[in-house]
Amino acid sequence: MAELGLYSYQQEVVERAIKGENVIIWLPTGGGKTRAAVYVAKRHLETTQHAKVVVLVNKVHLVDQHYTKEFKPHLGSNYTLVPVSGESELKDLFGKVVQDSDVVICTAQILYNALTNSEETKHVELSDITLLIFDECHHTHKGGVYNQIMKCYVEKKLKGERRLPQILGLTASPGTGGARILEKAVEHVLQICANLDSSIVSTRLYAPELKKKVPRPIKTFDIVETRPEDPFGNHLKRMMQMIQDYMNLPTSDFRLRECGTQEYEADVVILEQRGIREDNRRLAQCALHLRQYNDALLINDTLLMMDAYRNLEEFYISKSTRAIDKTDFFLVGIFQDNQADLMKVARDSRYENPKMAKLESVLLKQFSSGLQSKGILFSKTRKSIHCLNEWVLNNRALQEAGVKSAILTGAGNGITYMTQHEQADTICRFRQGTLNLLISTSVAEEGLDIPECNLVVRYGLLTNEIAQQQASGRARAQDSQYSVVALKGGREERREITNEYLEELTAKAIAQVQDMSIREFQRKITELQTQAVIKSRIEESCKMQKRSRYTASSIQLLCRNCFKSVASGSDIKLIDNVHHVNVNPAFEKHYKVGGQVILPKMFDDWEPGRIISCNNGNCNKEWGFEMKYKEIALLPNLAIKHLFLQTPDGRMTVKKWKDVPFTVDNFSFEEYCQDNFPDLLD
């Protein structure tokens, strides 16, 4: 084992995996789980005939990271390794890639697609794989893609099929699944074990060595007293009350909870859906605007008053030119009438958020100490980290202290996301010292190869114990600091204390599972797996019934903003199991086109066109974008969240196309060409 430089605690946790057993390796962030997995893969390749190793990750950026940093350096000289992600052309030849390679590192969705695809070049059977590694395997639960893959595995296992891969899971914490008592936490850990058909292993003999290798940071609660005065927040609340009065909602019918909370947001989401169901546009629009004000209150509680003001101002700039009835004019008018007063208060430093002053002192204490400090500041949303970065860049004291910050967000499309290249470049500059503070969403908590930090700050965050442990694990330098900036007695402080308890509860639950006899453990696992298979079949049957509840032609699609009917369900077709397009030429009269959509990657069969939005008067509600398919078909690609459905039994909203209560037929390119270009086919 010296060849890979494993510590004694790593040797202990891989012992059973080397013997071919299915195991989950439980080690903290920074404990070297991936290195342990590389060693297991190496031994497996050396000792197993026709070995085929597939490493699954849950985020695109981890494919290249695991390939470049861990697997290729140790296995690349003797074995064929191939990284495959959704951005790789190899995904369309995945079956062939698996056949021709020794080790494949890919996103889980690609493997699942291959398991369910019948095309020869794309299809893969579980029996083709001899070792299947799940990175961050605590995600193997409920409807996640990890669990979808393991459902295929478990069903085959319960049928008595023998040719199944060995399973290796890696996690810093399986968590408690929301449980607050030991009995339920044990049930959760057992469920994760059942889902992965694996035992859970950790170091017991070499725990002191692990503790020395991964020291715990010094934790401080940097507590802030309640704001003595909040005229900005109070002004927002008065405006919200005016909207609630205009909404004319009987208090006996529906009582809104305290504004400025997540609970209030949940309430107004329900009200917007109710407005749609009852054809009450006033209610629906008031609810949407109240959500924006609630967002502003949440921002005011976490960031600067001007950040909250700008967020509202940005919303109303777009709304002011899109008013279509008296409700819109009333709502826009309220903001315009109060805009000057809001801005005046937002610029008054006497009422600024005390949390920001506390955050400044935490950062200055670390970065003014004369040490070469590196830190990560975690916050909840992409919006908040952009605001925090702007604040750092414009803060004279922090700049004089030498703080050099940049944002780090998840990969994706849109201006608030980063490309993989941008992520890698930011982390590279952080490693080299050009940057010394990353301001990040949860993307930096899990998986990313970020160098040791001596400061981690959690700011305005309400997360579970898994995220807390992963964030804490980023502070790996000796005598590092882990700071929680929170309001005295507030939700963040309470949640952090709760998470500390849940972390201890997780460890106790794992220990109890590990202490079970082999016979008892196997009995419980088989029982849970059998129940899961039965439950899955029932759920699938219910989904099929739901999808065929109505005929497509009986459904009308209406604009979520102006409530105008714009399409029939039968107009919608499905391309590549992903894109929902309207193939009816008459749909063109209902939308207008805007700017060109730019995506950070290319696609084989299609390219994006222009943004499409509702053409009903001033509505302008964005619905999606045009897509050019096979260089011929120009089709409107619709996002269902911007529309709602009129069914024979009433109106309803859905977040995703998979939840619509009718069957969407596959798009036929041949039929489309026959209908639209008959002369070309003669």
Q: What does the pLDDT average to over 324-331? A: 96
* Contact assessment for residue 200 and residue 23, using Cβ atoms and an 8 Å cutoff: yes
Helix ranges, 548-668 (H): none
Asked if pLDDT for residue 465 goes beyond 90, the answer is no
| Residue owning tokens 């301001």 | 439
Question: Using CA of residue 631, residue 635, residue 640, residue 642, what is the dihedral sign?
Answer: positive
Residue 413: both structure tokens together: 């499309």
Model confidence band, residue 410 (pLDDT cutoffs 50, 70, 90) = confident
Rounded distance between C-alpha atoms, residue 195 and residue 142, angstroms: 9
* Contact assessment for residue 558 and residue 566, using Cβ atoms and an 8 Å cutoff: yes
Q: What does the pLDDT average to over 665-682? A: 82
* pLDDT at position 474: 62
Angle at 536 between CA 145 and CA 112, to 5 degrees: 25
Please give the distance of CA 305 from its chain centroid, rounded to a whole number: 28
Cα separations (Å) of 411 from 358, 382, 434? Answer: 30, 11, 22
How does pLDDT run across 116-146, given as a tens digit for each residue?
988 888 899 999 999 999 999 999 998 899 9
Secondary structure, 3-state, 265-281: HHHHHHHHHHHHHCCCH
Residue 6: both structure tokens together: 């494993």
Asked if pLDDT for residue 560 goes beyond 90, the answer is yes
Model confidence band, residue 2 (pLDDT cutoffs 50, 70, 90) = very low
In sequence order, the 6+-apart residues with CB closer than 8 A to the CB of 44 are 51, 53, 130, 131, 166
Q: What does the pLDDT average to over 355-363? A: 96
pTM here is: 0.87
Residue 118: both structure tokens together: 């019948």
Query: Does an H or E element contain 388, and which?
Result: helix 382-393
Angle at 56 between CA 55 and CA 62, to 5 degrees: 100
The full DSSP string for 146-165 is HHHHHHHHHHHHHTT-----
Rounded distance between C-alpha atoms, residue 559 and residue 621, angstroms: 8
* pLDDT at position 396: 96
* Contact assessment for residue 70 and residue 135, using Cβ atoms and an 8 Å cutoff: no
Angle, nearest 10°, between helix axes 145-158 and 182-195? 70
Rounded distance between C-alpha atoms, residue 647 and residue 98, angstroms: 45
How does pLDDT run across 482-521, given as a tens digit for each residue?
899 988 888 888 888 888 899 999 999 999 999 999 999 9
